[in-house]
Amino acid sequence: MPVAAHIPIASSGSFLITPNVGLMIWVLVVFIVVFLVLRKWVFPLIGQALDARALTISSDIDAAEKLRIDADAVLAEYRQRLVEARAQADEIISRARVAGDAHQKEAIETARAERERLLEQTRRDVEAETRRAIDEIRSEVAALTVLATEKVTRKVLTGEDHKRLVEEALRELDFSALGGGDN
């Protein structure tokens, strides 16, 4: 590789280390202008904005802390209420269960009494109907007896005869079957 025998890097490079006075003055003037402008109009604005944000963040942190404390209190209260509500609910359930049992027992007793009452009523009705039926049969038998006797004896019977004949006929009849064995 033909590398150059010499490389004229700084044959006239003294200007590199010689300060250019004109440029120094330019830099000084421009820098001072920039410095004065920034100090007067820019840095205060940025500083105020950062201070305001720091203040906001600080108050936000305080507010968040207060909120957290409030939230903790609310949560504790809520938990307490939840425990109370659970206890109340358990009590209500147990009372409802007791009341339900009592109600059920009462309903059963009522139903049983009603059934007994209805049975008794039915029994009485049946007895009354039976009695009425027996009385009707008795009347019918008496009438038939009188009629039959008149035809056999060919004479008109008096009231005394009627009464005697009916009583005799009824004495001979057995109504025990109609009355269920009771008569």
Partner 1 sequence: MSAITAPTDTRPPGAPAPAGQADKPAGKAGKAGMSTMKKVLLGLGGSYLLGLVFFIAVFGFKPHKSLQVLHNTFTPTDEFKLSTWFSAGPIDFNKGVLYVLIAAVLTLWILFYVAKRLKQRPGRLQTAVEMFYGLTESMTNDSLHDNKLQKKYFPLIATLFIFILVSNMIGYIPLPIDTLEKFKVFGAHIPSFQIYAADTNVAFPLILSLLVFCLFTWERLKAQHGPIGFLKSLMPSGITGPIKPLIFVIEILSYFLRLISLTVRLWANLLAGHMLIAFMGGELGVLVGDPWVQWLLLPIGLAIFAFEAVLIAGLQAFIFSILTAIYLGDAVSSH
What distance in Å separates the CA atoms of residue 137 and residue 135, rounded to the nearest whole number? 5
Quick one: which H or E segment has residue 72? helix 43-153
* Site size toward partner 1, by CB under 8 A: 43
Quick note: the x/- pattern for partner 1 over 51-90, rule CB under 8 A, is: --x--x----------------------------------
Q: Which of 31, 106, 163, 183 binds partner 1 (CB under 8 A)?
A: 31
Q: C-alpha distances in angstroms, 4 versus 9, 10, 31, 67?
A: 12, 15, 43, 77
DSSP string, 25-70: HHHHHHHHHHHHHIIIIIHHHHHHHHHHHHHHHHHHHHHHHHHHHH
> Which one, 39 or 105, has the nearer CB to partner 1?
39
Residue 13 as a binder of partner 1 (CB under 8 A): the answer is yes
42 binds partner 1 (CB under 8 A): yes
Q: Which two tokens stand for residue 180?
A: 């269920």
* Binding of residue 38 to partner 1 (CB under 8 A): yes
Which residues lie near partner 1 (CB under 8 A)?
1-4, 7-13, 15-28, 30-31, 33-35, 37-39, 41-43, 45-47, 49-50, 53, 56
